[in-house]
Structure 1
Amino acid sequence: MLIHEMTEDECRTALNQMDFGRLACVRGDQPYIVPVHFSYDGRHLYGITTLGQKIEWMRSNPLVCLEIDERTTPDQWVSIVVFGRYEELPDTPEHQRVRSHALEVLQSRTMWWEPACVPTERRERRPPIFYRISIEEVTGRRATPDAIAAALLSAEKSPWVGGG
């Protein structure tokens, strides 16, 4: 396996194809990480959720990190890390334009509304909270099979090997 550093453009292109990651935030000295669905518009990541620990922590410290990965095989994968700043998009006149854009971007993903609308076992239904992450830095790595691994992988898929 060979591991390659991705350029910023490669990372952003990959983000266009992904919609699930792990959001990390910090309060005090305690990190907290949760799985999230997101949509990407080329500059920001958008999400929808309800009030809970994640929102409370991001309100107290808006610096966040999102890790997104996709694994095809053990030696073929992509991992992207986004460093950014949380911004809540309240339902107010001054946020209406950006909130409408967020809704448009989110609707490009199937079941986009689910994180904020599916009832939970122990909580009453809460109003949705729209937010975005302004991307400040993005880094990534991708792994590809080396020549020997690629040849072995190709041989495993060949109809001529072990076909008897």
Structure 2
Amino acid sequence: MLGDLNKGEMIALLENQVIGRLGCYSDGETYVVPINYVYRNNAIYAHSGPGKKIDMLRHNKEVCFQVDEIKDTFSWKSVVVWGTFEELQGEERQQAMQGIIHRIMPLTYKPSQEVSHGISSGVHQQIIVYKINIKEGTGRFEAHDEL
């Protein structure tokens, strides 16, 4: 059976996952890249080092984000949201980064040895912390009852 996820199911999927795919578009080029994220208050919070993704997001703030949970070919859930990129500064940046660290680091194999974009090597200020303010979204699923 194919179906639509309701708003609560969409939020639950966004809250429970930590890796999604960010799609951006700039100067005739589409770019889709996996990111670690945290969902909170109708926004996707993430961080990145400088590079192509950030350059594109700064040029065109309109983005798409997709997350899924796949059990097998015929049992999955997927959410796609559209929104706008916003770079964070000051206290909001710090709080978002703490939320990302607290959510993602416990899931790493060796959290004390993992380095994400040079955070523990003293280049913390080069990290771009951002959020995607969600404007709209859709969710779908496929599920089949066991006989």
TM-based fold match above 0.5:
yes
- The answer to whether the 8 Å contact 1:41/1:105 transfers is no
Matches within 5 A, 1:2-151: 2-90=1-89, 96-111=90-105, 114-117=115-118, 127-145=126-144, 147=145, 150-151=146-147
Identity %: 29
Deviation readout 1:133-164 (Å, 9 max, x if unpaired): 1011121101101x4xx21xxxxxxxxxxxxx
Q: Which amino acid aligns with 1:56?
A: D
Match of 1:107, SS? helix
Paired positions, count = 137
- The answer to whether the 8 Å contact 1:25/1:32 transfers is yes
Match of 1:4, SS? strand
Alpha-carbon separation, structure 1, partners of 2:11 and 2:115: 25
Unaligned runs of 5+ in 2: 107-113
Q: Which amino acid aligns with 1:117?
A: G
Q: How far did residue 116 of structure 1 move?
A: 1.9
Match of 1:46, SS? strand
TM normalised by structure 2 equals 0.84
Unaligned runs of 5+ in 1: 91-95, 119-124, 152-164
TM normalised by structure 1 equals 0.76
Q: How far did residue 28 of structure 1 move?
A: 2.2
Q: How far did residue 107 of structure 1 move?
A: 2.5
Q: How far did residue 98 of structure 1 move?
A: 1.4
Match of 1:108, SS? helix
The structure carrying a bigger strand percent of its residues is 2
- The answer to whether the 8 Å contact 1:40/1:105 transfers is no
Match of 1:51, SS? coil
Matches within 5 A, 1:149-164: 150-151=146-147
Alpha-carbon separation, structure 2, partners of 1:8 and 1:77: 17
- The answer to whether the 8 Å contact 2:79/2:138 transfers is yes
- The answer to whether the 8 Å contact 2:47/2:97 transfers is no
Q: Which amino acid aligns with 1:17?
A: N
Alpha-carbon separation, structure 2, partners of 1:20 and 1:52: 19
Larger radius of gyration: 1
Alpha-carbon separation, structure 1, partners of 2:96 and 2:36: 13
